[in-house]
Structure 1
Amino acid sequence: MLFSLVRCLIPLLLFSYVDSGRILRTIKQRVRELQLQKNKQLLLTLTASGQQPLQHVKEAWIHQPLNHFNRQDVNTFTQRFFVNEAYWQRPDGPVFLFIGGEGPIYEFDVLAGHHVDMAEEHGALLLALEHRFYGDSINPDGLKTENLADLSSQQALVLALF
C-alpha cells in the first residue's frame, strides 16, 4: 500500500515541479512584455511632446572573450550594449550598469525605469549590457548544448568587474 502511494506521489511531485517552472517563466515573460509596452508608451509620449529621448541613446558592440578564465582560448563573440548620456555629469558622474536578463535588451532599457530615475537624480551615465548568448549577443558557434559551457553567471559578471 505504501509503495503504491509513493509510486503515485513521485510523478505528481515531478509534474508539479516542472509545471511551476513553466508558470514562473510565463509570468517573467509577461512582466517583461508589460515593461516594454509601458516604456514604448513613455517614449511615444515624450516624442509627441517634442522631446527626442533617442538622441541620447547609442547602440554599440564590444568583442568579448568567450571564456574569460582560459587565456589560451582566443575565441570571442560580440556583445551588444546601449549607452544613454542624457544625465551624465562628465567626467566624474557615476556609471550605472544594467545587466540584461535572459532575453534581448532594448533602447528602452536606458530610457525608462527606476534606474533611469536614479541616474537623472545622481548625474549618472547609463549602460545596458545584453546578457551573453541572448538577443543579438549570440555565441558564433551557436546555441548547441556543447557550446553553452561559457553561458554562466561567472562569465557574464567578469565584464562588470573590470
Structure 2
Amino acid sequence: MLLGSKLYFTMLLVVILLLLDFASAGRVLWGIGQRAHENAWQRARRTVGRVGGGVLQQPLDHYDRSRDDTFPQKFFVNEAFWKRPDGPVFLYIGGEGPLSEFSVLYGHHVDMAVMHGALLVALEHRFYGSSIKPKGLETENLSDLSSQQA
C-alpha cells in the first residue's frame, strides 16, 4: 500500500511540474509573439507617410438599379512601394473583421507589393468592421450580405 501511495504522489508531482512548465513556456512564447508583433509595427510605421484611407459610399445592391441606398466602405491605400505610373495595383479584401491601417503595412501581400512595385489597396468587407449600414445586421437586411454583392 505504501508503494502505491508513493507512486501516486510521484506521478502527481510530475504532472504538476509539467503543468507549471507548460504555463511558463506559454508565457515565454506569448512574449516572443508580442515582441515580433511590435517589431513588425515598427518596420511598418516607416511607410506611414505614404498610407492614406477613407470611406467610400458603395451601392448596397449592385444589381438592382431601382435601389439607391448605400453603405460606408472603409479602405486604406499604401503607395510607398508603387512604381508609378505602370506598377501593378494589388487589392486586398478584408475578411470577417475590421480593417486597419496595419492591413496595408504588414503581411505577405505587403511583401508581394514591395517585390512587384505595386500600389496596395485594402478594402473592408461589407457588413464587417465599420463597413455596415445602420440596422444592416437585422434579418431583413442580411440578403445584402452575399458573395454576389461582395
1:102 equivalent in structure 2 = 96
Please list the CA deviations of residues 42-79 of structure 1 after superposition, one character each: whole Å capped at 9, or x if unmatched: 113x37xxx63221111211110000010000001110
CA contact (8 A) 1:39 1:112 kept: no
CA contact (8 A) 1:132 1:139 kept: no
1:54 equivalent in structure 2 = 48
1:135 aligns with 2:129: yes
1:121 aligns with 2:119: no
Give unpaired runs (5+ residues) of structure 2. 1-32
Per mean C-alpha deviation after superposition, the further-off stretch among 66-75 and 55-64 is 55-64
Q: Which structure is higher in helix share?
A: 1
In 2, Cα distance between equivalents of 1:36 and 1:96: 28
2:41 equivalent in structure 1 = 43
Runs of 4 or more, structure 1, over 4 Å off, are 35-40
Please list the CA deviations of residues 23-50 of structure 1 after superposition, one character each: whole Å capped at 9, or x if unmatched: xxxxxxxxxxxx9995554113x37xxx
| CA deviation after TM superposition for structure 1 residue 102, in Å | 0.6
1:81 equivalent in structure 2 = 75
Residues 40, 104 of structure 1: alpha-carbon distance in 2 compared, 3 angstrom cutoff: farther
CA contact (8 A) 1:100 1:131 kept: yes
Aligned residues: 118
1:90 equivalent in structure 2 = 84
Give the alignment's Cα RMSD to 1 decimal.
2.1
Please list the CA deviations of residues 85-139 of structure 1 after superposition, one character each: whole Å capped at 9, or x if unmatched: 0000111110000000111011111111111111111110001100001101012
Residues 102, 108 of structure 1: alpha-carbon distance in 2 compared, 3 angstrom cutoff: same
Matched to 2:47, the amino acid is P
